[in-house]
Structure 1
Amino acid sequence: MLQRIGQLIGVGVIAGVLVAAIALPAVGGLGITARNVATGFMNMPSDLETPPPPQRSVIYDREGGVIAEIYDKNRELVSLDDMSPVMQDAIISIEDSRFYEHGGIDISGTFRAALRTLSGSTQGGSSLTQQYVKNVLVESADSQAEQEEARETTLARKLRELRYALTIEKRMSKDEILEGYLNIAYFGDGAYGVESAARHFFDIPASELNLSQSATLAGTVRYPYLYNPRLNPEDAQERRDVVLDRMVQVGTITEKEAEEAKSVDLADELEPTNQSNGCVPSKQPFFCDYVVQEIEKNEQFGENETERARWLRTAGLEIHTTLDPDMQKAAQKAVDKWVPRKNKSKKVAAEVLIEPGTGEIRSMAQSRDYGPDESKLGETSINFATDSDRGGSTGFQAGSTFKAFTLAAALEQGKGFGTSFGGGGSSTTVTGQRNCNGDPLAPWPVKNAGDTQGGGGNMISGTKGSVNTYFAHLQKDVGLCNVIKMAEKLGVHRADGQSFDNPHTQANNSFTLGSEEVSPMTVANAYAVFASGGTYCEPQAITSINDRQAGKTIEIESECERAIDKDVAAGVSYLLQQTFKGGTTSGLGIGRPAAAKTGTTDGSAAAWFAGYTPNLASAVFVGDPRGPQNYPLRNVTIGDRYFGQVYGADIPGPIWQETMSKAVEKVPEKGFPGAPGKFRGGGGGGAGAQPTSNNAAVEGGVPDVVGQRESEAVSALEDAGYQVSVAPNRVRSAEAEGTVAAINPDPGTVLPEGATVNVFLSGGSGRAVPEQDAEAGDEDGVLPVGRPPHEDE
């Protein structure tokens, strides 16, 4: 009867009568009239903003696969058309059967609710519109106090909801209100909105809910915990049946349909699923964490980190990333194979793959489970692939991978491949170096590993053998500060955020031997500059973010600039390709042109391998996160393999090889540019430098014939104007038996026309001895077993 009267006399009068009826018993002694109360009610704020409710954000790989979902509340918004019609009927029947008849206020229900509110109870009575208003107020609250105000058991709260409900009914259609309510309501067990609830409890979308399932979900909204189907299936089934009876009562379904639905055992329908939240359950957890860090630390996405974190977890973002699922799978498989996650030695392997020319991160893997409990074997929340400000560590010394930066600095100064230094030997002392502040550094004793005598070689032999003494002299010749500046141009920086010239971290003599703590990300990206022909790009994990709440898409472009001349990049690539030809990376090829460098820090504290093709760069680190110097890679069993000492070619090398061999299947094969002619000569050295020959000799220097058949090699050398002497005894080498294992002098050496070049043929079944780094950096320098000595050794 009251509902009918309300329809006849209008909303304004209803409000006045309703408010007076509710309020006057409480305020009668104050002389307030019904008219005053009604006027005050209608003057209350009524313009309620109804933004989309918080929903989960999804991180995708570059092929559209889901990496992770991030949210404060598990909610996925769907349209009313994507909700089962019987679900709509069920919620209306049990919560507001006159929903399509009233104007936002169910008069009889509201009277009943108001009276109960005055007695301290909030049981029942609100229309769906009022419930929608309440949920909007709770979800849009910016503070705990505002949330408590939206939930408080007071008449004032009920009046606010009534006033907002009247306005909402004028602004939105009934279907829009119903859609908003079903998307915002809480259905229990962490499921917000009917779509998430359907998937959580029944593992189906909301569009496929049947009568029994719909009645079950509709029954939960009053008391989500009590009627939780997973925790309390018997109570939930009883409540379901109540909903079914109500649907019969209002004429939504027949008694027969209700009885058929009641005959279904709810336990048989339940298929609870745990919606993954965050990076822990992801199959790519450390890349996921990196993406989260990128958003939370980037001022582009909000004024402060708290605001950015909330945006990520509530805006329903679609975050598209650079991760290649096949490359990631290959990298993860390789690091897990060579350094198992729960190896008792507690060593870890980390690898990053980056696309040259874009900086896009294709893979980020490490041999650990992602989790917060560092005390558990094989678990960590630290991303050893990246820097400390992105959830990583403070870095690890990178060994001889830094020698590539010295090569680049030397070539930039115009020094040729034939640049050499007198006084070759297994050890030397370098004096007279200065840091970037101009301060003199103490004399620096440097040695090579084992019996290697390589100090007097040139760039090619020094690089192939990773000869410490050679690079110590080359660094001095170029200038320590110039080498540091070159590294910085390539994006090299300390993982702890300190600069190289910080008083506490001042770069020392052994910079060229990799004495600085960096991350695999930094090394991989620096090598990507060489691969790209000299272009530096900021590492990039995200390509676009679709903000569904704001209705806009943020496109994120690569940030690139030229760092070094293309000839310098080509020269470094040429030198690093030589390591596969009888050098420290022999036997680790991937079946297509590649350039690489090993690195092993002092005493095998850590081991590295960095390498690239023209379209993919990678760096691998292996060490102990507890502190490599205190827990070195010596006398260790990793998996089922025992190592007396681990070098860059022992574990990092095979990880790189197995990863890249699979990863490059997705990119076209490309060759490197030829070595620029201007570097093929010698000279360019400073004080003490002695070119291996003069520049008036044969242009281009000795051709590189390593790996060729004897007849082909002899012809090429003779055509270049040299005499050829083939050694009678074959040497152990990774090159195919019968092909050229090495030549002396080295390729690129400039000799007078008619000079003799010695050729050594391979006996096969050999492999380069790995290097050992020294002096807080590197002792690389062991030449392949059976390799002929240099003239200056």
Structure 2
Amino acid sequence: MLQRISQLVVVGVIAGLLVAALALPAVGGLGITARNVASGFLDMPSNLETPPPPQRSTIYDSEGGVIAEIFDQNRELVELDDVSPLMVDAILAIEDARFYEHGGLDVSGTLRAAVRTMGGNTEGASSITQQYVKNVQIEAATSQEELDHAREESIARKIRELRYAVALEQRMSKDEILEGYLNIAYFSDGAYGVESAAQHFFQVPASDLELHQAATIAGLVRYPYLYNPRFFPDQTIERRNVVLDRMVATGAVTEAEAEEAKSEGMDLDLDTPPNGCVPSDQPFFCDYVVQEIEQDERFGPNETERARWLRTAGLEIHTTLDPQTQEAGQAAVDKWVPRENESRKVAAEVVIEPGTGHILGMVQSRNYGPDESKLGETSINFATDADRGGSSGFQAGSTFKAITLAAALDEGLPFSTSFNSPTSVSVSGQRSCNGGTLATWTPSNSGDTRSNTTHNMVSGTKASSNTYFAQLQRQVGICDVMEMAETLGLQRADGTKFTENENSLANSSFTLGSEEVSPLRVSNAYATFASGGMYCEPQAISQIEDRQSGTTIDIEPECSRAIDEDVADGVAYLLSQTFNGGTASSLGIGRPTAGKTGTTDGSAAAWFAGFTPQMAGAVFVGDPRGPQQHPLRNVTIGDRHFGVVYGATIPGPIWQETMRGAHEGVEVEQLPSAPGRFGSTSGPRAPEPDDEASPASDDGGVPNVVGQPENDAVAALQAAGYSVNVSQTRVRSGEPEGSVAAVNPDPGTRLPEGATVNVFLSNGGGTASGTGPDEDWLPVQPAHLPHGRDGD
């Protein structure tokens, strides 16, 4: 208390001497002393920068919808003309009634405060200009040392503030100073600035504040914590009434008006804008945007500065997120893999626009939050790489076969490139990128087990034959396939390149998707095929408007040609065939599509990646606790039980439903036709009759039960040694309603004993025939997957 009294006395004396120096002639000792004090005072540094105070940054989707607000301080700047005159009168009455009369130093007020304080009645002594100066210095502090300097209780600080106040009054108008003060002041309970305070306490703009509301807010400035209406309503009301009495004394309102305002209740309607990504409806995309800004050197010299810029500069961050795509994707993942499913499985999906790299959707079946032990909650974005808040990735399964196709076509191999593709095959002689010879590898198929099946690129892709792609990879060269993956932007989710990772170099099964990657990278690689070979960096932000500096940063797509257009179109054609009697036959969306299922070794994870000319998407389903330790076998997800989850079982339908919703209202475009340079698109030469399995084989092959009643068909299949799964979805077929429309695998296919045969019943809706966008009649679920084999 004694220190506070002495400070006020000294400051009051200095203020008096300054006024004497500035207003009186140098006569006698008083004049000389005053001139000396003023001379030293005016020689002090006075150039105080007054940048806009910290304010909220806002993230928008591509249509202008708010995704999230990010801030250190809940503040929205407002012009003085947009502040209620009652609010202006209230703040002047309680803080600085002579504001428009003095020149930054309210000498009489300072001396009066000193006298009253010495008498035991403590009173503040700062003018609004001085308070503004103090707040500016606090907000401009970039270190704890600078912050302590701005807040220290000392005569030196008071004198500095006086000097800055005098200089400020010479270069800023009174209205400009008052506007700055009203925007920078702290009004309690997390509300900075008068606009945020009005919105927070009364849910009205500052322009609409009524008398009792304005007096309440003005009274908070002196002791924001003591007068916090949330916790101390009685003290707040007492303080409000003091403000009203001051307004009467200054003539701002009549005594009757003040008494009426005093009769009003607090009428609080507290509303704090959600801060950060946790409360957002698009939390994982929001987190990705935050990561993009904090990690990108374009936005600041270091991560600390970039994070500060994001949370204080009042940025308007416009993103590429398409709300229609996002909504469709979120609904699909939540439907198929509910957020709080007891199996703890997760689905994650990314949709990208070919030709721009724009991220149109980024979803996963989890709530966003820090408590990883809480069912259904995580802060890890499984859709992206580790350096953007993601995981270390998941094996992508047969979605990588598309990479092998691209490498093969890039080397000039034709569609007719054929190999005998039996149940299993030994692959030797593969050489890694460092020149070493890899050990002999023996991959196996999961469904088509005929010993002498011959596949070319068309039929091998349709059937997703592991043994075909193993041999194609050997012919192309595993290092060339890895380099093609990197050309398409693929890398391990931990940030390492395939060709630089020693473990990858020893991994023969690259073509079967043995590397841990993110859905973002897989989706973007498929977007490159869809765009005719143009690779674009994934892009979430299109523009940033910096309201603090008044600058705008436009972020254009970063695109370049990665592969020849014919190569991309050739891959697109091959992948489109999976919807035409291949592993994606049930996943059409009523327009031209191309895609690939993927199931990893041991059913650790399941994928689907595919595209139209306008959108590419990749879906992952697995267990973040460890896919190998918690595989997709004998699991109940939501209210559905699955013996095995394949790429066409859950990821495929998620992709399908996302794409259907995302393409509503979007013009239908055609995929490119097969480039002539790669030759015929026909299947391989049919096996000789004596080598071909009979369609109605009873020696281990799947019996032909098409057209039979359900019970008869099930009995026949069980008698042949197979488990039977009757699909709940009936399909369009020329067979009588309720009879068998199709089985998968096809009749005649030999399977291991106990393998599952999927039966699809007819809805009696007519023959499904022809090709094109409507040929999605046959829901295909790959057959039983023996342990240790890739399923797609």
Question: In the aligned structure 2, how far is the partner of 1:544 from the partner of 1:410?
Answer: 39
Comparing 732-741 and 131-140, the one that deviates more: 732-741
Question: In the aligned structure 2, how far is the partner of 1:772 from the partner of 1:303?
Answer: 54
Give the Å deviation of 1:187: 0.2
- Equivalent residue runs for 1:72-221 within 5 Å: 72-113=72-113, 123-221=123-221
Give the Å deviation of 1:259: 1.4
- Equivalent residue runs for 1:460-609 within 5 Å: 460-501=458-499, 502-506=501-505, 508-609=507-608
Contact preservation (8 Å) 1:538, 1:558:
yes
Question: In the aligned structure 1, how far is the partner of 2:120 from the partner of 2:625?
Answer: 58
Q: Relative to 1, partners in 2 of residues 1:8 and 1:73: Cα closer, same or farther, differing over 3 Å?
A: closer
Q: CA offsets per residue over residues 372-423 of structure 1, 9 Å max, x none?
A: 111111111100000000000000000000000111111112222222113x
Partner of 2:359: 361
Give the Å deviation of 1:37: 2.8
Partner of 2:434: 437
Q: Which amino acid aligns with 1:737?
A: S
- Equivalent residue runs for 1:676-691 within 5 Å: 676-681=675-680
Q: Which amino acid aligns with 2:204?
A: I
Contact preservation (8 Å) 1:418, 1:682:
yes
Partner of 2:263: 263
Partner of 2:332: 334
Give the Å deviation of 1:770: 2.1
Partner of 1:448: 445
Question: In the aligned structure 1, how far is the partner of 2:146 from the partner of 2:202?
Answer: 34
Question: In the aligned structure 1, how far is the partner of 2:116 from the partner of 2:790?
Answer: 79
TM normalised by structure 2 equals 0.84
- Equivalent residue runs for 1:383-394 within 5 Å: 383-394=381-392
Contact preservation (8 Å) 1:420, 1:692:
no
Q: CA offsets per residue over residues 130-167 of structure 1, 9 Å max, x none?
A: 11111111111111121122112211111111111111
Specify every segment of 5 or more residues in structure 1 that has no aligned partner in the other structure, as ranges. 25-31, 684-689, 694-726, 743-760, 781-793
**SS of the residue 1:609 aligns to:** strand
Question: In the aligned structure 2, how far is the partner of 1:143 from the partner of 1:451?
Answer: 68
Q: Which amino acid aligns with 1:631?
A: H
Q: Which amino acid aligns with 2:444?
A: K
Q: Relative to 1, partners in 2 of residues 1:449 and 1:570: Cα closer, same or farther, differing over 3 Å?
A: same
2:638 pairs with 1:654: no
Give the Å deviation of 1:504: 4.0
Q: Relative to 1, partners in 2 of residues 1:495 and 1:120: Cα closer, same or farther, differing over 3 Å?
A: farther
Give the Å deviation of 1:38: 2.8
Contact preservation (8 Å) 1:400, 1:777:
no
Partner of 1:627: 626
Contact preservation (8 Å) 1:459, 1:575:
yes
Contact preservation (8 Å) 2:543, 2:555:
yes
Q: Relative to 1, partners in 2 of residues 1:131 and 1:435: Cα closer, same or farther, differing over 3 Å?
A: same
Contact preservation (8 Å) 2:458, 2:681:
no
Question: In the aligned structure 1, how far is the partner of 2:493 from the partner of 2:121?
Answer: 58
- Equivalent residue runs for 1:735-774 within 5 Å: 736-737=732-733, 766-770=778-782
Give the Å deviation of 1:772: 7.1
Partner of 2:250: 250
Partner of 1:414: 412
Q: Which amino acid aligns with 2:566?
A: D
Question: In the aligned structure 2, how far is the partner of 1:729 from the partner of 1:647?
Answer: 24
Give the Å deviation of 1:570: 1.1
Contact preservation (8 Å) 1:741, 1:762:
no
Question: In the aligned structure 2, how far is the partner of 1:416 from the partner of 1:682?
Answer: 9
Q: Which amino acid aligns with 1:426?
A: T
Q: Which amino acid aligns with 2:781?
A: V
Q: Which amino acid aligns with 2:680?
A: G
Contact preservation (8 Å) 2:425, 2:467:
yes
2:438 pairs with 1:426: no
**SS of the residue 1:352 aligns to:** strand
Contact preservation (8 Å) 2:15, 2:107:
no
Specify every segment of 5 or more residues in structure 2 that has no aligned partner in the other structure, as ranges. 1-12, 687-703, 714-726, 736-740, 744-766, 770-775
Question: In the aligned structure 2, how far is the partner of 1:189 from the partner of 1:426?
Answer: 69
**SS of the residue 1:446 aligns to:** coil
**SS of the residue 2:502 aligns to:** coil
Contact preservation (8 Å) 1:582, 1:741:
no
**SS of the residue 1:618 aligns to:** strand
Give the Å deviation of 1:649: 0.7
Contact preservation (8 Å) 1:399, 1:777:
no
Q: Which amino acid aligns with 1:527?
A: Y
2:21 pairs with 1:13: yes
2:315 pairs with 1:317: yes
2:675 pairs with 1:667: no
Question: In the aligned structure 2, how far is the partner of 1:190 from the partner of 1:297?
Answer: 28
Question: In the aligned structure 2, how far is the partner of 1:514 from the partner of 1:13?
Answer: 83
Give the Å deviation of 1:769: 3.0
Question: In the aligned structure 2, how far is the partner of 1:433 from the partner of 1:559?
Answer: 35
**SS of the residue 1:340 aligns to:** coil
Q: Relative to 1, partners in 2 of residues 1:537 and 1:119: Cα closer, same or farther, differing over 3 Å?
A: farther
Give the Å deviation of 1:506: 2.7
**SS of the residue 1:164 aligns to:** helix
- 1:379 paired residue among 377, 380, 385: 377
- Equivalent residue runs for 1:264-279 within 5 Å: 264-266=264-266, 269-279=267-277
Contact preservation (8 Å) 2:21, 2:35:
no
- Equivalent residue runs for 1:47-66 within 5 Å: 47-66=47-66
Give the Å deviation of 1:590: 0.7
Give the Å deviation of 1:39: 2.2
Comparing 498-507 and 86-95, the one that deviates more: 498-507
Give the Å deviation of 1:729: 8.1
Q: Relative to 1, partners in 2 of residues 1:115 and 1:139: Cα closer, same or farther, differing over 3 Å?
A: farther
Question: In the aligned structure 1, how far is the partner of 2:122 from the partner of 2:463?
Answer: 81
Question: In the aligned structure 2, how far is the partner of 1:651 from the partner of 1:16?
Answer: 87
Contact preservation (8 Å) 2:486, 2:498:
no
Q: Relative to 1, partners in 2 of residues 1:433 and 1:34: Cα closer, same or farther, differing over 3 Å?
A: same
Give the Å deviation of 1:169: 0.6
Give the Å deviation of 1:767: 3.0
Contact preservation (8 Å) 1:349, 1:366:
yes
**SS of the residue 2:387 aligns to:** helix
Partner of 1:459: 457
Question: In the aligned structure 2, how far is the partner of 1:396 from the partner of 1:233?
Answer: 54
Question: In the aligned structure 2, how far is the partner of 1:654 from the partner of 1:148?
Answer: 59
Question: In the aligned structure 2, how far is the partner of 1:400 from the partner of 1:771?
Answer: 15
Contact preservation (8 Å) 2:464, 2:583:
yes
Partner of 1:612: 611
Q: Relative to 1, partners in 2 of residues 1:8 and 1:682: Cα closer, same or farther, differing over 3 Å?
A: closer
Number of residue equivalences: 706
Give the Å deviation of 1:33: 4.9
**SS of the residue 1:665 aligns to:** coil
Contact preservation (8 Å) 2:586, 2:777:
no
Q: Which amino acid aligns with 1:503?
A: E
Partner of 2:694: none
**SS of the residue 2:167 aligns to:** helix
Contact preservation (8 Å) 2:430, 2:474:
yes
Question: In the aligned structure 1, how far is the partner of 2:168 from the partner of 2:282?
Answer: 44
- 1:290 paired residue among 277, 288, 291: 288
Q: Relative to 1, partners in 2 of residues 1:332 and 1:123: Cα closer, same or farther, differing over 3 Å?
A: farther
Identity of aligned residues (%): 67
Question: In the aligned structure 2, how far is the partner of 1:776 from the partner of 1:11?
Answer: 90
Q: Which amino acid aligns with 2:87?
A: M
**SS of the residue 1:430 aligns to:** coil
Partner of 1:402: 400
Give the Å deviation of 1:257: 1.2
Contact preservation (8 Å) 2:447, 2:783:
no
